[in-house]
Amino acid sequence: MELYQSAMQEQTRREQQRRRMIRWRKQKKEKKLDMVEERRRLEKELQRRVLEARMAFDELTIRSAAEAYRHVTVERAVLMSENVALKEAIEDKLKVKAQLERETQEFLDQIRSNEPPVLARRDDDGWCVQLPNGAPSFYFSPFTWEEFDNILKNNDVVYAERHPCTATVGKILGWTVDYAPLVRNEAGTSFVAHARFTRRLRCSLDKAHRILPHLDKNVWPVLVTPRSWGCAQTGSICYQPLQNFNENALIMVGNIPGEVHLRYIVLARHTREQRPDGKRVDKYIMAIADSEVNFRNRQAEGEQENVKWVLEGGLYMTITEVNENTIDVVFDQWSECLNEMHGRELYIDWIRFPVRIEQYVSPARLLSCTIYTGGNVGKLDTGRQFRDYSEVSLLTIVA
């Protein structure tokens, strides 16, 4: 009996404690609400009085230092009040924005986790290509081998004849730079820039062949420069394979992320030839290409405001064996651009890949180098045009 009474008393005590806690929490909540309301009332009262004082001071003529001080004090109070209100409004908006971005990212991650990594559907007529990082998808129709081969043969022979390099810029990090005059593309909607970089390197052709064809696609050259299209790049370029004819011939899509995604289809091939004198020549070509079927696919999908397709550009590199320890490298690159100003500066961006090639096959080179331009000694800054006697380092070029 005593045990039962003790248990009942303990239960009653706990119930009373629970009710006290409920009353205390309720009172605390009401007190907090009262304080918030009081703060709002006081802020409104402060704003009213400051406004009245400001209006009164506007009507008065300041005759003494004391009046001037009071006037400045009122103005300072107004500005502080406005500053606090603006900061609170900005903080609220930033919190909402962060929450929306977090929830959106979680939602997109959940969707992507349920999708195939590259292709949603694939057949002989074409398939929908899904790109990483939320980039818009597109429908791709495969090229035939004849289309692939004809496009690359055309670039191999015709381009040097159509856009010959006639102006020598000078030497940059030991590379001789030649530049072609800017010309308009066939449609007349943009300019085409073309530059050639040449250099003799101390390296065997076999060593270069063991390295270059096996480079990761992330370090392959970018055929389109975003700033030449007035675009801001927000991430690294993504090369995604679309077709493989053999280990030395493939088709990829290149996507440069940004508010407007710059995108192109690129055909890539590596071949080795032997000249009549017995010297071997390795050729690497990447050419932006299109087909009638893929053009019709884009028309059927409709214009996308956040995607810009680039239809002309490429590179052509020949590595010629001089002797068992020496090679001659000729690297040509060409691309569309919006205007002449950007076109004249593109070789500053393009030289990065030849320099990287030299680092891969001849890593013992010096880390900086003098540039000779038109007989003047100067150095290169990637953000500006040449200026004599300025500073340069290799890291600036290849970063």
Q: Is a pLDDT exceeding 80 seen at residue 62?
A: no
Query: Which range has highest mean pLDDT (46-60, 194-208, 214-228, 344-358)?
Result: 194-208
Of these ranges, 55-59, 175-179, 375-379, 389-393, the one predicted with the greatest mean pLDDT is 175-179
pLDDT tens-digit profile of 277-303? Answer: 889 999 999 999 999 999 998 988 888
pLDDT tens for 118-173 read: 444 455 678 889 888 788 889 999 999 999 988 888 765 455 555 566 677 788 88
Phi, psi of 52 (to 5 degrees): -60, -45
Question: What are the residue boundaries of the structural domains of the chain, listed by start?
Answer: 2-110, 119-398
Mean pLDDT of the chain: 77
* pLDDT value, residue 141: 92
At residue 330 the predicted structure's pLDDT band, cuts being 50, 70 and 90, is very high
pTM of the model: 0.59
The tens digit of pLDDT for each residue in 337-359 reads 877 777 777 878 888 889 888 88
- Classified by CATH at the fold level, domain 119-398 comes out as Alpha-D-Glucose-1,6-Bisphosphate; Chain A, domain 4 (3.30.530)
Phi and psi (nearest 5°) for 75? -60, -40
Q: Please, where are the H alpha helices in the chain?
A: 2-59, 65-113, 145-162, 205-211, 292-301, 340-350, 352-361, 394-398
- CA dist., res. 167 & res. 220, Å (int): 27
pLDDT for position 250? 92
DSSP secondary structure letter of residue 217 = G
Mean pLDDT lowest for which of 57-61, 245-249, 309-313? 57-61
Average pLDDT of 317-334?
Answer: 91
